[in-house]
Amino acid sequence: MSIDRKKISWNGWGWTAHKDDVAANEAAWSWLADELGMPSLLATPARPLDDIALAPSRLSPSERAHFAQILGEDRVRDDHFERAFHARGRSYHDLLHLRAGNLSTAPDAVLYPRGTEEVLSVLSFASDNGIAIVPFGGGTSVVGSVTGTAEDFKAAVSLDMSGTDRLIGIDGKSETATAEAGIYGPTLDKALRAQNVVLGHYPQSFEFSTLGGWIAHRGAGQQSSRYGRANDWLVSAKLATPRGLLVTEDFPASSAGPRLTDLILGSEGAFGVITEATVHVQPAPEASVYTGFLFHDFANGAAAIRKAVQEGVPAAMLRLSDAEETRFYRAYGAAGKRKSFGSRIADAILHYRKFGDTAVAMIAGFEGDAATVERSRKRFSEIAKQFGAMAIGDSAGKRWHQGRFHGPYLREPMMDRGLGVDTLETATSWSKIDALYAAVKSALENTIRETAPRPGARGIVACHISHSYPNGASLYFTYIFPRALDGDVAQWLAIKRAATDAIVAHGGTISHHHGVGEDHLPWIVQEKGALGVDVLRAIKTALDPKGILNPGKLIPS
């Protein structure tokens, strides 16, 4: 395994050693309390692991011995840390449970297979013996995709794929690479760059998530406009199932029936365990530019994105914050700091050019060969100017790029202070996006007010367009709110429900790039239709007749 898991937080995000300036910036916390209508923030620390009891493992000695026989003794783990680490993913909802010391979903053991054959043996034995298997990549799910919920089974084990992390080979002529599914983002990226190619899949979880996880939840990296989503770059996969190995087509294109590779994308461990994947790789980009623009309002920024993407301008990323997100990041970052001369000049210019409260910031990224980057950047700047934008230079883009994986770390200092913070995302067509945006924003604001711990308390609801397509775009919401400490899980659920109901009612998908997991499962029938869910269930039954794989995910019982 290429990451020492002991250095990763079992109940929070990423490296335990990570330090953020903001945690110690008391001025920022005062500002935030004020914004949220709270007189002060409370100390709400997480419970330490040593204080938390775990139920005894339900795996029988003979079952444990059988797994040890398949994998080797050191690859069957049931110590406290391992079980706790694998109890849940890393959503706000997960963190609420983990920090409160609720480890009821901890698996009975954690298995570390070394390859496809071992996975097949594990699945065969588990299927014959009624043991639930929860496939686990990096464990960074934010929708409850790795929760070890398995009441209907005599035991549940986490199948941790991080021991399978080899780059198997590169076919340079065909621009494909084949790797084991448990490989972490940075390990894969480094191995590919050593041969001067990239996959280009950089989700916010990049440092802590795996190739198999990206495919299983049909994810999108931050630069998917340039490199494609998982469903664009996945060529072929090996899926280990209780009924044997499914190896999907590896042709560049085919009309021989539905493409089985497409069924693995989004399968979330419910159809099988992805053990290997062949992906499309591209030459490592010669140039990379991230630059900022300011638009007068969200509508103009969105219109510029739509024009660019429909025209086919090859941007790597067009990320447009709404007015609230623009304001929040400026103010939160600035709180307690003395304004620099440059910053005061910038304010004066904005004032002069009449970018008022509705101003929105965009980060536009371009990657590839130098000529294409230069041409795209130039063309996008022209389009942005047509919609009234002002270029604000590359420093904003560089700052964004440097911090592009750090967002999730902000949650814990907030959760330490009685605050809640979560994100959710959706996508819809361009013609529905304004109504969807308004409905979700209003559902979030209203429910946060209704569930707030005191009258007058309120949330901050920020949004950005993160990914765009000729037919539409995604909306990514971040919301911060004062926690109802006597029922914070119920509060989260009420907010989530209101927002997701609004999404479904306004033609948005329940997830653009996070997946279904347990959290979105209540809406899957509305998303896919009852008959559509029957189709998914039929696929599952064909591959996993006993239903041992990731119970409670993807397909409602």
Residues from 447 through 476 that contact a second copy (CB under 8 A)? 467, 469-474
CA 207 to chain centre: 12
Q: How far is the CB of 27 from a second copy (least distance, A)?
A: 38
CA-CA distance, 178 to 160, in Å (whole number)?
A: 20
DSSP 530-541: HHHHHHHHHHHH
Give the interface segment with a second copy, choosing from 82-90, 185-193, 384-392, 426-434 (CB under 8 A): 426-434
Looking at the Cβ atoms of 297 and 412, the one nearer to a second copy is 297
What does DSSP say about strands 197-198 and 317-321: parallel, antiparallel, or unpaired? unpaired
Quote the DSSP letter at residue 8. Answer: B
Looking at the Cβ atoms of 9 and 248, the one nearer to a second copy is 248
Angle at 195 between CA 193 and CA 197, to 5 degrees: 55
User: Would the CA dihedral through 80, 85, 88, 92 be positive or negative?
Assistant: positive
Looking at the Cβ atoms of 217 and 417, the one nearer to a second copy is 217
Q: How far is the CB of 123 from a second copy (least distance, A)?
A: 13
Looking at the Cβ atoms of 283 and 393, the one nearer to a second copy is 283
Q: How far is the CB of 554 from a second copy (least distance, A)?
A: 6
Q: Which of 116, 127, 140, 176 binds a second copy (CB under 8 A)?
A: 176
Quote the DSSP letter at residue 453. Answer: S
Q: Which of 179, 320, 516, 549 binds a second copy (CB under 8 A)?
A: 516
Q: Are 483 and 417 in contact (CB under 8 A)?
A: no
Q: Does 429 bind a second copy (CB under 8 A)?
A: yes
Q: In the stretch 218-237, what mask flags binding to a second copy with x, by CB under 8 A?
A: xxx--------x-x---x--
Token pair recorded at residue 455: 């009258």
Q: Does 97 bind a second copy (CB under 8 A)?
A: no
239-269: b (≥16 Cβ within 10 Å) or e:
bbbbeebbebbeeeeeeeeebebebbbbbbb
User: Would the CA dihedral through 448, 450, 454, 455 be positive or negative?
Assistant: positive
Looking at the Cβ atoms of 72 and 312, the one nearer to a second copy is 312
Q: Does 196 bind a second copy (CB under 8 A)?
A: no
Distances (CA, A) of 88 to 97, 136, 140, 143, 194: 9, 10, 9, 10, 34
Looking at the Cβ atoms of 187 and 511, the one nearer to a second copy is 511
Q: Does 263 bind a second copy (CB under 8 A)?
A: yes
Looking at the Cβ atoms of 11 and 500, the one nearer to a second copy is 500
Q: Measuring CA to CA, which residue among 260, 308, 261 is closest to residue 280?
A: 261
Site for a second copy in 350-389 (CB under 8 A): 368-369, 372
* Residues 198, 203, 205, 206, Cα dihedral to 10°: 10
Site for a second copy in 306-345 (CB under 8 A): 306, 310-312, 314
Interface with a second copy: number of residues (CB under 8 A): 87
Q: Does 253 bind a second copy (CB under 8 A)?
A: yes
Give the interface segment with a second copy, choosing from 109-117, 122-130, 211-219, 482-490 (CB under 8 A): 211-219
Q: Does 300 bind a second copy (CB under 8 A)?
A: no
Q: Which of 53, 56, 256, 342 binds a second copy (CB under 8 A)?
A: 256
Q: Which of 27, 42, 168, 247 binds a second copy (CB under 8 A)?
A: 247
Q: Does 556 bind a second copy (CB under 8 A)?
A: no
Query: What are the residues facing 428 on neighbouring strands?
Result: 473
Q: Which of 104, 343, 402, 541 binds a second copy (CB under 8 A)?
A: 541
Side by side, the strands of the sheet bearing 273-280 are 167-171, 176-180, 273-280, 234-241, 244-247
